[in-house]
Amino acid sequence: MGLKREKLSHLRFFFHDIVSGRNPTAVRVAEAAVTNSSTTGFGAVFMIDDPLTVGPSMESKSVGRAQGIYASADLADVGLLMVLNFAFADGKFNGSNLSVLGRNAVFSAVRELPIVGGSGVFRFARGYAQARTLDFNLTTGDAVVEYNVYVFHY
């Protein structure tokens, strides 16, 4: 299969989830009958194409996009089902993707999400991503999240 020796890479980047304004990067595409009366937004489904940057500012250098879906999947707490790809568009990971599938307990200080695969440089990837919210605007819903990703790949 042409596999080389497995490596461990540590990536750090910032995820900008913009749900407000004229150019949102996350949009609600579906909801359940109970979504608007639920304290957790249960049943809301969002499609995302969020910028990934090297620093917490939107003006910092872009390294790629987070593309996929997240959905409110918890009746009692704000817990999201995350199904997304980190699609890298710069540097040695340009053209490569990491696939994430897991639960994001939004109001926990640190969340851990599994890396379940990848492509390009990250073919056969496995590992985890730690997410920490740096900024969350209660009025708009916009958020900046720091990701530290630890991934084994060939």
Mean pLDDT of all residues in 60-74? 98
Q: Assess whether pLDDT exceeds 70 at residue 3.
A: no
Q: Measured between alpha carbons, how far is 56 from 121 in angstroms, rounded to an integer?
A: 25
Residue 94 has pLDDT above 70, yes or no: yes
pTM, full prediction: 0.92
Q: Kindly tell me if the per-residue pLDDT of 2 is higher than 70.
A: no
What is the residue-averaged pLDDT of the chain?
95
Residue 75: Cβ within 10 Å count: 12
CB 82 within 8 A of CB 76: no
Compute the average pLDDT of residues 53-72.
98
pLDDT bin (cut points 50, 70, 90) of residue 78 is very high
Q: Are 89 and 65 in contact (CB under 8 A)?
A: yes
Q: How far is CA 65 from CA 6, 15, 107, 154, in A?
A: 25, 8, 23, 22
Task: Using pLDDT thresholds of 50, 70 and 90, give the confidence band for residue 1.
Answer: low
For the chain, how big is the Rg over CA atoms in Å? 16
User: Positive or negative, the Cα torsion across 133, 104, 118, 65?
Assistant: negative
